Each structure stands twice: as C-alpha cells, then as structure tokens.
Amino acid sequence: MNANELDRFAEKTTPHLRDLAATSEAVRAMYVYDSRYENVPVNRDADLFLEKQLTRTKGVVYKYPGRVIILLSYTCAANCRYCERQDRVGVGLDEEGRLTEADIDAAVAFVGAHPEINEVIFSGGDPLTHPRGLALAAERMAALEHVKIQRIHTRFPLQAPGKVDFALLQRIAALPTTWYLSLHVDHPDELTPEVVEVIRRIRSLGLILICQSVFLKGVNDDIDVLARLFTHLAELGVRPYYLYHCHPIATTTHFVMSLDEEIAIMSRLRERLSGVACPQHIFEMRNTTGKLLVPTDHWNVDLAEVVDFTGAVHDVASASMSVELPHAAASGKRSRP
C-alpha cells in the first residue's frame, strides 16, 4: 500500500467542541475519531452525488437548474465523522480546494454566462474558513444582474462560535442580493449560550437563517431530541429546512438509519411540531440527480422505487447502499408492516 491508501479522514475539533464533548455524548459521537468504525482508507476518487462529474469550472457544481454551488474551500473548522464530502474534506486537500482569485473570476464568468441562474450557494468544506474568497466572490456575484439570491452553507458558528467574522458577514449582507445562511445543526447540545448569541447577531445583520440536519443513529435518532432541536431553532429564528438521510460511506456506516426508522420519526414530528419548525425530509440519491422529499407514513405509497430529477427509475435500496466500500452496511429497504 502506498501512503495515500493508508490515509484516514482526519480528526479535527476546536477548543469549543472539546469543552462541549466533555459533557455531551452526542458531540463526542459527532466529532471524536472512533477506531471501531473508522479504520478505513480514504477514497479520494469517490463521487457520491456526481458533484465532480458536474463541476463546470473549479469549485463550481451546476446540478440543479437556476442555482449553482460554489465550493470555496475544502477546509472546515472541525471534521464531522459522518461527513459525506470526505473524499475532499479532511483528507489533506485543503490547499487544492481553496479557490484563488483566478478561480473565482472563472466561477463568476460561468455564472455570468448563465442568465438562468438566480441563486449562488457557497459551500465547501466551509466557506467561512475562506473569508477573503467569500468576500470577493460575493461582491462579484452580486454585480451580476441576474443573481438575486446568495446563500452560505456553514457549520462554522457551531464549531468555532468565538471566531465568526461578523465584519465580513456585515459587509456581504450589505450587497444588493437577498442572503440566506444555512446552519448545519444536528443536536440540541450544539446550541450553547455562546452559539445562541452568535445566531442572534447573524440574524440582526439581516441574513435569513435556515438550517440543515442529518439523521444520525446514536445522536438524534429520537423524536424528543429532534423536537427539542427544531423547536429551539425555530424559536431562535432559524427555519428548519432539510433533514437528510445519511448514506453509508467510509466512516459513516454506524450513523446510518434505515428510511423506515426515519419515516416513523419524521411522521410523528410532523404531528407534533409547528409548520415553521418542521423541516423537509430529504433523500438524495447516490450517483443520481435529485433531492427527493420522503413521504410520511400518513400516505400509503410504494417506496421501493423512486424516479430521479432526470426521469430515471431507481431501486431505493441500491440508491441508498454503499458502492464504494465492501464492508459498508446496507440501509433498509422499506417494507410495510
């Protein structure tokens, strides 16, 4: 084996998370390397959701009509053990993944040549780990007449709340586009008083706050935990947006829940929560195109087959299963009791 094949998805935390992990089992499970499940080499060639195939110019993934993702950086403040971009994030590609001014010019040129794009989404890694790049890209994108919305996907405020660059956020919030900021939050323990204060300050700058979460066995596979999480977020002015199914890849297999378990929880949440506190349950298929809304168990539908955004039909079990690693556990195929 060469050195690359022996590489692992790096453990990375922050002082804030280390403090939190001392009292929160959920935070430990989310961030602390576990040799029982993670003794697998990195597969830098993986392309779980066709993001590499659909990259148009460096960092620019154009997959869904009208909105484009810009991967500004492959670095995060900390590495979540269930990261589904661990073919690029946390595997030593930090320098390579950081967009330069020339890369950003090329990204702006791509968006400029596509008048149908009205929304630019900054992601990564974490775009807040590359503030100079974010400021530059945001300003240049805002100068394009057809770009009306800019969005940031970040977990930085939950991982390093003391390091959030409010001057940067204030500067971009003043640009003539509407701003959404999507926080990735998975457990109520993450919403510490310091984090709550950061959320309050970001909100006061005028960005619209939404959040994304992932169903994680052993962390939030519990109706009460998720109800507390989404209620607290809605109370803070953060609108729960998506709750994703986690796919089994490399280090994630022990976090993966079956769609059946997720649907059962999601259906009870929909009964319990206010509409503004209840996110959409999303199944993003492997090697295909489409973020599909998973129906609740209030509907009597056959969930064995799905149609992606291109019209192609797929078997749910195979679209959810690992194709990258031999040992990965299969996720549940839905069967009604």
Write out the residues near ligand PLP by the rule CB under 6 A.
51, 61, 63-64, 67, 69, 121, 291
Tell me if residue 306 falls in helix, strand or coil: strand
Residue 89 near which of ligand SF4, ligand PLP, none (CB within 5-8 Å, type-dependent): ligand SF4
Question: Using CB under 6 A, which of 85, 245, 281, 334 touches ligand SF4?
Answer: 85
Residue 125 near which of ligand SF4, ligand PLP, none (CB within 5-8 Å, type-dependent): ligand SF4
Residue 80 near which of ligand PLP, ligand SF4, none (CB within 5-8 Å, type-dependent): ligand SF4
CA distances from 192 to 86, 160, 161, 187, 259 (A): 27, 12, 10, 11, 30
What are phi and psi for residue 171, nearest 5 degrees? -65, -45
| Contact status: 48 vs ligand SF4 (CB under 6 A) | no
Scanning 113-220, the segments in alpha helix (DSSP H) are 131-142, 156-159, 166-173, 193-204
Query: In angstroms, rounded to a whole number, what is the distance separating the alpha carbons of residues 292 and 290?
Result: 6
In sequence order, what are the residues at sequence separation of 6 or more whose Cβ sits closer than 8 angstroms to the Cβ of residue 13? 21, 31, 32, 78, 79
| Contact status: 126 vs ligand SF4 (CB under 6 A) | yes
DSSP 161-188: GGG--HHHHHHHHTSSSEEEEEEE---G
In sequence order, what are the residues at sequence separation of 6 or more whose Cβ sits closer than 8 angstroms to the Cβ of residue 300? none
Closest to ligand PLP by CB, 37 vs 62, is: 62
Nearest residue to ligand SF4, using CB? 83
Query: In angstroms, rounded to a whole number, what is the distance separating the alpha carbons of residues 202 and 43?
Result: 36
In sequence order, what are the residues at sequence separation of 6 or more whose Cβ sits closer than 8 angstroms to the Cβ of residue 232? 188, 191
Closest to ligand PLP by CB, 37 vs 64, is: 64
Closest to ligand SF4 by CB, 7 vs 139, is: 7
Least distance to ligand SF4, CB of residue 272, Å: 27
Closest to ligand PLP by CB, 132 vs 146, is: 146
| Contact status: 79 vs ligand SF4 (CB under 6 A) | yes
Instruction: Give the footprint of ligand SF4 on residues 169-198 (CB under 6 A).
Output: 184
Closest to ligand SF4 by CB, 160 vs 173, is: 160
Applying CB under 6 A, the residues found at the interface with ligand SF4 are 76, 79-80, 83, 85, 89, 125-126, 155, 184
